[in-house]
Structure 1
Amino acid sequence: MKLHVFDTFAYSPSGKIIHFDVLIPEKNELQAQQYALQWLASIGEPEATIKPSGCLFCHTSASLPQFADDVLKTGFAIYKLEGCPA
């Protein structure tokens, strides 16, 4: 499964920076932002914001099998980087 990776930075009202990648099967920045906001709400950060340049296409990966189940179930996967819950 080919996945497109969107490097994402979100900012909580308290000033916390949440850095993660959104992985989706289509190269669609708007869809990636919507999935990012959905995920932020699911981790208790529904008020976090993503600036217009905060969710940008990074690269396409030919195979990331560790994320395939999440993508098949929800349409996207998250690769946690800095400031994300464990």
Structure 2
Amino acid sequence: MQVRVYDTHVRTQDGRYLHFDVLVEPADADQAPAYTLRWLEARGIRAQDIQQSRCDFCHSEFASPPVEEALRQQGYAIIELQGH
């Protein structure tokens, strides 16, 4: 399964910096911002600023089994990179 990867940077209202990837199926690419907000809200994080970008070539990849399972269960997967 191929996925689109959105490189996401968030400044929270309490001053923290978070960096994570949002992975979605190509057909759901327009839902990446909504999935980002859903994930943040589920953790009680209030974003002040969200920057999200995607590169068609270097940020498209094949999903690992855990990512495929997350996509089946919730429509997206998150890979936390910085500021957990």
Fold shared, TM-score > 0.5 on shorter chain: yes
- Larger strand fraction of residues: 2
**Letter of the structure 1 residue corresponding to residue 52 of structure 2:** C
Identity of aligned residues (%): 32
In structure 2, runs of 5+ residues without a counterpart are: none
Q: TM-score, normalised by structure 2?
A: 0.85
Q: TM-score, normalised by structure 1?
A: 0.83
Tell me if the contact between 1:3 and 1:64 (Cα under 8 Å) persists in the aligned partners. no
Mapped pair 1:65 → 2:65: yes
Output the aligned Cα RMSD.
1.5
Tell me if the contact between 2:6 and 2:52 (Cα under 8 Å) persists in the aligned partners. yes
Q: 1:42 to 1:56 in 2, by over 3 A?
A: same
4+ residue stretches of structure 1 with deviation over 3 A?
none
Tell me if the contact between 1:8 and 1:22 (Cα under 8 Å) persists in the aligned partners. yes
- Larger helix fraction of residues: 2
Question: How many matched pairs?
Answer: 80
